[in-house]
Structure 1
Amino acid sequence: MSEHERRIVPRQGPDLDLDGDIPKYWFGGDAFKTRFFDAMSLLFPEGEKFFITCVRDFRDQIDDPELAAQVKDFTYQEGQHGMVHTRFNNRLKAQGIAVDEILENQKRIMFGTFRKRFSRRFTLAQTAAAEHLTAMMAHGFFNGELFADADPRIRAMYAWHAVEEIEHKAVAFDVYKRVAKGGYGTRIAAMMMTSFTFPFHVFLIMRHMFKVDGVKNPGRVWLKGLWWLYGPGGLYPRLMRSYLTYYKPGFHPWQHGDLSVYELWNDSFERNGGDAIGAADAVMAATRQRAAA
């Protein structure tokens, strides 16, 4: 995708009937897979606020009108993500999940610890690292049939979120490099820290969810689920090459990532009047067709 073709579209968050009859284990009845994505969703609203704040720290120093416009659109998209995931998280609260307590703890860590103890440049580097991780997952999660067994509404929510993560994946990085003048060492230290803290918090939330659910044989559920995540051919090993590119000194987000799924989703979404479920289903059908060919 050439530079002039890259665009950040300030879409309004889709109405996906997240208050409807979505099964508790909406991912093919699988407790681990469902709660893995539920836990990530739970973290997004406060996480998006943190990202917006860290990028805005340098907003007044941006003298490139194009980058300034990208920051504005990045802020809008992240705000929409927070609102949609908050609606989804209200489902979790109704299931007995301690959503408010978890979010308050997350807020204390990010705003009460990270932003008080680390420099503004470092917290921006944390944001750039997190944006790479989410964009990496966005590029990878919809290649193949990962979400084939998922409820169409949740699949559509994550597909929409993934598309927008791809669109703005370079914004925090560009502000870090071009405006904050951040160096390689800080960028890598922030990535190593984020690579540990993000899954650690997801797993802690999942442990709480399994306890609330009264999951039987939780050890077996964890072993099977962690194999799905980390075993040969698992979700994370498939993304490892993309992850490691961040450690190259000359890395830039737009050097990497297959855009075919993004383009397919975007074309379907625009042709069908903003139908997020239809766009996600079109991606699903195309990946099945590709796998069968």
Structure 2
Amino acid sequence: MPKTAPEVHADLVLEPRDVKFDWSALPLHWIPDEPVATHTINVLHLLLPEGERWFIKVFKDALPLITDESLREEVLGFIGQESIHAEAHQEVLDHLLTQGLDPRPYVRQLAWLFQRVLGEKPRLGPRQRRENIIERVAFVAAIEHFTAFLGNWALNSPGLDRAKADATMVDLLRWHGAEEVEHRSVAFDLMVHLDPGYLRRVRGMAVSGPLLVHLWVRGVRFLLAADPTLRGRIKPSWREAWEISQRGLLPDPVQSLRSGLRYLKRGYHPTQEGSSAQALGYLATSPAARAAAAR
């Protein structure tokens, strides 16, 4: 039998936080002289607006199935936070377009994937519809595991500071990363609430993990090819990504793989990833959050 997940939602209050980012001075390569590192991280801006809108739709579909009021409140807070995340990353996509890099062809493909392939299936009976919702929640839970991993990396990535990465972009990554760490348990707890079986978790990771890697690799290739300043001169490689990660500008691929394997341990729970205290500490000092509060 799988171990019961820790009771974490007794004192967890998730609130959407208003933020204000000024992208007017953001350079196309916001990590100086590092176009591959820049665009590898920029894939987040491609994936997250459509992906997080899909998360929201899945969780809204799941709301009628929740019988735990505390968990319901967490899910509502999660929905609010994800909505603001999608808007913040959409602003970056809009800024890229003004710099001559058009992200729309790739984003249209993502929209088709999330809405048509991973979206709600029409003409399902009540039992089939419930099963479809739970399956999609399991996909979200697996992806949220990796977003929490990335968020923890962003909060602990001095390499970006050493490389003099754009301060506004670093704040976006750390503000978003902090909220991912803060709500890292919600999708997992919802999945377990709806289906405590271990196989559901494995199936969610088996689908979402490889899909996320595939989309990320395609996204890097797309951005490097679409970058008007590079003219297709740079081709990404796993070796270069490894070397960049060792300079602290990208997450370590080995640690990323180990993170995915941790998710498959029977006694695993997302509270084992990251620090809520560190996340809340950053959220209290984020320049974007303070700028919004000052308005």
Cα drift, residue 234 of structure 1: 5.8
What residue is the counterpart of 1:160 in the other structure? 175
Aligned residue for 2:119, secondary structure, equals helix
Say whether the 8 Å CA contact 1:210–1:218 is kept in structure 2: yes
Match of 1:191 in 2: 205
Aligned equivalent of 1:15, options 17, 20, 23: 20
* Contact kept in structure 1, 2:31 and 2:165, CA below 8 Å: yes
1:200 aligns with 2:204: no
Q: Give the fraction of aligned pairs with identical amino acids, expressed as a percent.
A: 24
Tell me, in whole angstroms, the C-alpha distance in 2 between the residues paired with 1:243 and 1:110. 22
Which of 231, 246, 253 lines up with 2:270 in the alignment? 253
Q: Is the CA contact (8 Å cut-off) linking 2:150 and 2:251 kept in structure 1?
A: no
Give the direction of change, closer, same or farther, for the CA distance of 1:70–1:116 in structure 2 (3 Å limit).
closer
Are 2:171 and 2:288, in contact at CA under 8 Å, matched by a contact in 1?
no
Counterparts of 1:179-258 in structure 2, within 5 Å, are 180-213=194-227, 214-215=230-231, 217-219=233-235, 223-229=239-245, 235-258=252-275
Structure 2 residue 59 is matched with structure 1 residue 55: yes
Q: 2:154 aligns with which of 138, 141, 145?
A: 141
- Number of residue pairs aligned between Structure 1 and Structure 2: 272
- Corresponding position: 1:71 with 2:87: no
Amino acid at match of 1:191: M
- The 3 A distance-change label for structure 1 pair 142 and 111 is same
CA-based RMSD of the aligned residues comes to 2.8
Quickly say closer, same or farther: Cα 1:47–1:234, change in 2 above 3 A. Answer: closer
| Structure having greater relative contact order (Cα 8 Å, sep ≥ 6) | 2
Matched position secondary structure for 1:11: coil
Write the letter of the residue equivalent to 1:139: N
In structure 2, the gaps of 5 or more residues are 1-6, 122-130
Change (3 A) 1:262 1:103: same
CA distance in 2 between counterparts of 1:125 and 1:193 reads 10
> Which structure carries more helix by proportion?
1
Show the 5 A alignment for 1:82-93: 82-93=86-97
Give the drift of 1:86.
0.7
CA shift at 1:144, angstroms? 3.9
2:142 maps to 129
Residue 238 of structure 1, CA deviation: 3.3
Write out aligned runs for 1:261-272 (5 A).
Answer: 261-269=278-286
Q: CA deviation at 1:210?
A: 1.5
2:241 aligned counterpart, secondary structure: helix
